[in-house]
Chains A and B, each alone.
Chain A
Amino acid sequence: MELQISIILGFMIIGAIYALHAKDLLSAVIAMGIVGYGLVICFLLLKAPDLAIVQIVVETITLVIMVAVVLDSTREEEKVPFDRTSLVNTLVAFVVFAGLFYFFLHAIEDLNPLGKHTLGMAESYVIGALEHTGSVNLVTGVLFDFRAYDTLGEAVILYTAALGALTLLRMKGKKTD
């Protein structure tokens, strides 16, 4: 399991790096699709079919929206001239990232390794959950019963984004112009 996911993750990292460096914005957006769909496969391997379905649909819609934005633009990313300051910046970034990586490595040292997770709060979401909520799908049970308030917040966020997009994309901001 760990090996398979590591291989997919390797591809995702390559896709991500390509997406950041691609010259054409359309190929960058599609390379981001590699990362997103790779994530879907990981979800399926990790026994999360709900997430796989949501991620595959949301990824597709995100791609459609991004392609719609990028499509009739110039599509070319302007090159950043690579001079001494940007070299120094990159080096500093890499040193900081190496430090963060080392820090993360130490931080997760004592935590449960993959597959050895034990249930804490979630124990009641699994054992006896069927009697409590009546939902065969435990994730739905958590989403709409145990933690339905979170789901309300989530729906409100999507609603806010729709309202925000509608507001930001209106033609005139003020009545006088």
Chain B
Amino acid sequence: MDALIPLFVAIPLISAFLMVIFGKLVKGFHRFLAPITLLALLLLAVYEFTSLGGTSQAYAMGGWTGKEGSPLGIFLVLDGFSVIMLCIINLIGLVALFYSLSYMAKYTAEANYYSLFCLIVAGMNGVVLSGDLFNLFVFLEVSVISSYALVAFGVGKTELEASFKYQVLGGLASMLILLAIGLIYWQCKTVNMAEVRAAFDGSYSKAFYLFVQVLLISGFGLKAAIIPFHAWLPDAHSSAPSPISAMLSGVLIKAVGIYVLIRLFFNMFVFTHEIGVVIAALGALSMVLGSLLAIIQWDVKRLLAYSSISQIGYIVMAFGMGIILLLRGNNEAAAVLAIGGGIYHMINHAVFKGLLFLNAGSLEFRLNTRNLKEMGGLSKSMPLTSTTSFMASMSISGIPPFNGFFSKLVIIIAAINGRFYLLAALAVLVSIITLGYFLKFQRFAFFNKAEKAVEKIREVPFPMATSMVFLAILCVALSLLAIPSVSETVLRPAIDVLIQPELYSTTLIGI
């Protein structure tokens, strides 16, 4: 047992509490403590990633390991998949926080902002590490409740309205998830995920199984904003302060939505063919509709929010194909490609969508508008923002040599190998549409003729610029993951966890 695992939750919690206590007394205390906290978490995540080396670990809270085959307390699980998520969460968190140092200076109650920021990170780390259904629900609530407050942080009209919508739909999702957890406890008499799997491996009633799966797909689908459940996302992600939009779009919907969905359907439920079809279909639907809705937007952040729905669709579709291919059993190489492509795209999307929201924040910071029609000609006055956003746009539209190209390519190859020709065609088509609306964004924001006088507009301050440049470098650097030997060490442990579901139960409780 590695004693460092609970620190992923304990460190951000402690610094969140300290910031509220000392934030009013010591000036600038929170601005100093918050980046250090996130940096420490990132280092810890990277350390765990290197020391794990493809194995997985379980941590029994309070030392309650229990008799063999029957876990007693709450288990935390650190394996290839969760450690990658931890790295992404804390990396994007650190960058967004560094960006906030100058972006949030115009808001009041900064100490509360940084405290809530640490709480959202703590919640996400808790969700990703948890091996226990109810514990997962509790930490999910920690992160979403702090995100409700952060979305409405500016207390303007639109922020409050968006936050209310987000809260109602989020509350609905929580209810569905809680009901599902209750029903699972009724059937399996346990809330430990590995033991639930062991209980499901035997006999179960078909109707019950389907009902629970429907509840969980709609619950976590609402959190992840897959298409029929997406109503809250464009409002919440466009109204929030920009670093928070980057956090929400970059990592929150992945950590509390997709990650949990994948974890539950790969490691807790036994695969069924229907569920694979449903997941792949939902993914393809959000992919297409999200991109079509994004074209007609004139608000920069709204455009980016719809594009998030579309890119989330890619990831969900890849995992859905993975389930179907694993069930067919005759083409494991394609399944590995599909799942690996999904994870790779998840990492990439966190990086470039985070960067794009930071770019949008910079535009809003200097111009006080989010409307594309009021921008133009900014490529001269804001060269850094312009260059980084160009790189991110090319990356998200799948232009080589940026990372987005490779992850989309992997997904498309997997689709062709697995003989999902329709899905492959749709993925290519959506990629072209994506290129279309990002060219629109580039043209109207940076290259068109200026509407207003833009000479007075200067480049953004140092912390914001550094964060954007850092993420832009990552956009190029992550292309390295496409090299087989690199992806073998980085992505392979995560893929292994998902394609060998029994592994999860054995590390957890040794069944």
CB within 8 Å of B: which residues of A?
Answer: 103-104, 106-112, 118-124, 145-150, 152-154, 156-157, 159-161, 163-164, 166-168, 170, 172-176
Contact = CB atoms under 8 A, between A and B. Distances in A.
Contacts of A107: 183, 205, 207-208, 210-212
Contacts of B139: 153
Interface stretch (B64-72, B242-250, B495-503): B64-72
B338 to A, nearest CB: 31
Contacts of A120: 70, 188-190, 195
A121 B20 CA distance: 38
Contacts of A109: 205, 207-208
Given A107-B210, A121-B195, A157-B141, A164 B64 contact: no
B207 A124 contact: no
Contact of B74 (A147, A166, A172): A147
Q: Is the contact region of chain B dominated by helix, strand, or loop, or is it mixed?
A: helix
B116 A164 contact: yes
B341 to A, nearest CB: 33
B152 A168 contact: yes
B108 A175 contact: yes
Contacts of B67: 124
Max chain B Cβ within 10 angstroms of own Cβ: one of A103, A118, A152: A152
B196 to A, nearest CB: 10
A170 B186 CA distance: 44
B149 A164 contact: yes
Given A148-B61, A168-B152, A160 B119 contact: yes
B70 A168 contact: no
A157 B183 CA distance: 24
Interface string B187-215: 11111100100000000010110111010
B106 A124 contact: no
Max chain B Cβ within 10 angstroms of own Cβ: one of A107, A112, A120, A166: A107
B66 A124 contact: yes
A107 B148 CA distance: 34
B183 to A, nearest CB: 7
28 contacts: A104-B211, A107-B183, A107-B211, A110-B205, A121-B190, A146-B72, A147-B61, A147-B73, A148-B62, A149-B62, A149-B135, A150-B74, A152-B13, A153-B126, A153-B138, A153-B142, A160-B119, A160-B146, A161-B145, A163-B20, A164-B148, A167-B112, A167-B149, A168-B152, A170-B155, A173-B107, A173-B108, A174-B107
A67 B153 CA distance: 25
Given A111-B187, A118-B189, A121-B195, A164 B138 contact: no
A168 B146 contact: no
Contacts of A112: 186
Given A107-B205, A120-B188, A164-B145, A145 B183 contact: no
Nearest to B67: A124
Contacts of A122: 189
A37 B444 CA distance: 58
Nearest to A142: B73
Contacts of A161: 145
Interface of B: 13, 17, 20, 61-62, 64, 66-67, 70-74, 106-109, 112-113, 115-116, 119, 122-123, 126, 134-135, 138-139, 141-142, 145-146, 148-149, 152-156, 159-160, 183, 186-192, 195, 205, 207-208, 210-212, 214
A89 to B, nearest CB: 16
A121 B71 contact: yes
Nearest to B140: A153
- What are the 4 closest A-B residue pairs judged by CB atoms, nearest first? A120-B189, A164-B149, A107-B211, A153-B138
A146 B62 contact: yes
Given A103-B207, A121-B195, A157 B138 contact: yes
B138 A160 contact: no
A36 B367 CA distance: 50
Nearest to B110: A175
Contact of A174 (B106, B186, B189): B106
Contacts of B138: 150, 153-154, 157
B207 to A, nearest CB: 4
Nearest to B145: A160
Contacts of A152: 13
Nearest to A165: B149
A153 B139 CA distance: 6
Nearest to B112: A167
A145 B62 contact: yes
Nearest to B105: A175
Max chain A Cβ within 10 angstroms of own Cβ: one of B74, B108, B123: B108
A170 B73 contact: no
A114 to B, nearest CB: 11
Nearest to A111: B186
A166 B108 CA distance: 12
B119 A156 contact: yes
Max chain A Cβ within 10 angstroms of own Cβ: one of B145, B154, B191: B145
A103 B213 CA distance: 12
A69 to B, nearest CB: 13
